[in-house]
Amino acid sequence: MISINDKANCTGCGACYSICPKKAITLKEDFSGFKYPTVNVDKCINCNLCEKVCPEINTVCTDNSYAEPIVKAAWNLDNDIRVKSTSGGVFSAIAEKFISNGGYIVAAEFVENFRIQHTIISDKKDINKLRQTKYAQSELSDLFVKIKKLLYEDNYVMFVGTPCQVAGLKNFLLKDYEKLLTIDLICRGVISQKIYIDYLKSVEKHTKSKITEIQFRNKDLGWNSSTTKISLEDGSFYRKERWLDEYMIGYLKHNLYLRPCCYECNFKKMPRVSDISLGDYWGFDKYYDVSDDNGVSVVLLNSSKGQSFFEKISDKLFSMDTPLEQIIKENPCLVTSVAKGKYSDAFYKKFGKTDFIDLIHKIDEKDYYKKLNFKEKVFYILREKIKLWR
């Protein structure tokens, strides 16, 4: 039976939970909000299916993948879709074509109270719900079982998720399905929904208004200057540049709260686990002349299936070949895990006891102070004392 002795050895994909024939496995949340499997030994029949499908124990077969992907820079020719998308709007083009062919799409959406959950759609009007990066680990629930049923009934299915979610699904299915198209999102690492929800509550506390809409990568100021834009019930907006928003400071700057396995991810490598990988083509304007700032996607075609499908949407996209080396240089998360931040333990000691935004401010200020030289520290202390006197 599966046993998690080291939390770095579990991605939370839920393949073990989904495969158990006796429903002996539950996924329980720890203090940080990440879920891990727990086995009811009284129900367990020691079939070891849970271990067989675990992508951390058994590597996903990539025999059908290219050793090195075909790499494209691309964006959607429909500028409205491109602007509404996180990067270049390639996902939307793929999704529209897939549904036109009678297929089902499985990807993450915001549900009640802005929790994040994978869902199944088969109508083009629902694609909008799946756009935009969500920046927390989505709930998969019993989606793997539903996907298997759709494939068994000879339907086309497209699954979009993090590389570890793709790996969990492929292991759970126990065999290849020609009608399954898998897409992984180039991933820095996942945050728990407990931390994400705590951040949202903090925003509501500081703004004194309820949240009505969330965009983590709004492009009103351009793709390279994308902002966290949260619409509020009173008609105002909470808007902060990506590197100034507290949630992103903890995520991008200090690496405070990634899932433990993300600090030593087994899926940041070639060949890729999916048919297609999608992400931001950061630094595109360094290498090529581009006249706008509406977003550029990097597309990795990792298998003949992925390449074949991409060719079917060529009329919907601008695309061009580009070197893999440039992608790795500008988006190193493709192949490299980030290190756990030095303030991570300090964050968790205060998490749940201190307001989220205030806690991030304290950590960021402490980090700023430590980097000052002696004269700068003296000036900093005097400045803070003057603030108190006022």
- In a domain, residue 358? The reply is no
Contact 104, 120 (CB under 8 A): yes
Q: What is the mean pLDDT of residues 29-39?
A: 97
**Position 362 in a domain:** no
Question: Does residue 139 lie in a domain region?
Answer: yes
Please report the pLDDT score of residue 3 as a whole number: 87
State the average pLDDT for the chain: 94
Claim to verify: residue 28 and residue 89 sit in the same structural domain:
no
The kind and range of the H/E element at 169 are helix 163-173
Quickly tell me which residue has 């304007």 as its tokens.
285
303 in the same domain as 182: yes
Residue 350 has what pLDDT? 97
Alpha-carbon distance of 356 to 158, in angstroms, equals 36
43 with 78, same domain: the answer is no
Asked if residues 95 and 105 have their Cβ atoms less than 8 Å apart, the reply is yes
Distance CA 97, CA 78 (A): 14
Residue 1 — pLDDT band, cuts 50, 70, 90? confident
Domain for residue 354, yes or no?
Answer: no
Q: State how many domains the chain has.
A: 2
Tokens, residue 287: 């290498």
Assign 64 a pLDDT band (cuts: 50, 70, 90): confident
Q: What is the pLDDT of residues 129-145, one digit of tens each?
A: 999 999 999 999 999 99
Q: By C-alpha distance, which of 235, 246, 181 is closest to 210?
A: 235
Name the residue among 238, 239, 254, 245 with its Cα closest to residue 205: 238
270 pLDDT higher than 80:
yes
Per-residue pLDDT at 373: 64
Q: How many CB atoms lie within 10 A of CB 65?
A: 20
Using DSSP's 3-state secondary structure scheme, residue 116 falls into strand
Range of the domain at 47: 7-53
Residues 49 and 156 in one domain: no
d(CA 24, CA 317): 47
Question: What's the whole-number mean pLDDT along residues 23-46?
Answer: 97
User: Are 48 and 82 contained in the same domain?
Assistant: no
Same domain for 25 and 145? Answer: no
Same domain, 40 and 173: no
Q: What is the pLDDT of residue 174?
A: 92
Peptide bond before residue 271 is cis, with ω within 30 degrees of 0: yes
Average pLDDT over residues 182-200: 98
| Distance (Å, whole) CA 292 – CA 189 | 29
Distance of CA 50 to the CA centre of its chain: 24
Instruction: Please tell me the predicted confidence (pLDDT) of residue 59.
Output: 86
Q: Is 224 helix (H, G, I), strand (E, B) or coil?
A: coil
Q: What pLDDT does residue 386 have?
A: 59
**pLDDT for res 169:** 98
Same domain for 178 and 108: yes
Pair 124, 167 in one domain: yes
Q: For residue 312, give both structure tokens.
A: 């079917």
pLDDT band, very low/low/confident/very high, at 369 (cuts 50, 70, 90): low
Q: CB-side exposure of 147: number of CA atoms within 13 Å?
A: 33
**Percentage of the chain with pLDDT > 90?**
88
Q: Note whether residue 86 is domain-resident.
A: yes
CATH number of the domain where residue 47 is located: 3.30.70.20
Is 250 part of a structural domain of the chain? Answer: no
Q: Are residues 284 and 163 in the same domain?
A: yes
Enumerate the β-bridge partners of residue 105: 121, 158
Last residue of a domain, one of 300, 319, 334: 334
pLDDT band, residue 271 (cuts 50/70/90): very high
What span, in angstroms and rounded, lies between the C-alpha atoms of 136 and 293? Answer: 26
| Residue 290 token pair | 């581009």
Same-domain status, 17 and 160: no
Asked if residue 19 belongs to a domain, the reply is yes
pTM over 0.75: yes
Do 40 and 139 lie in one domain? The reply is no
Our separate counts of H helices and E strands in the chain read 15, 13
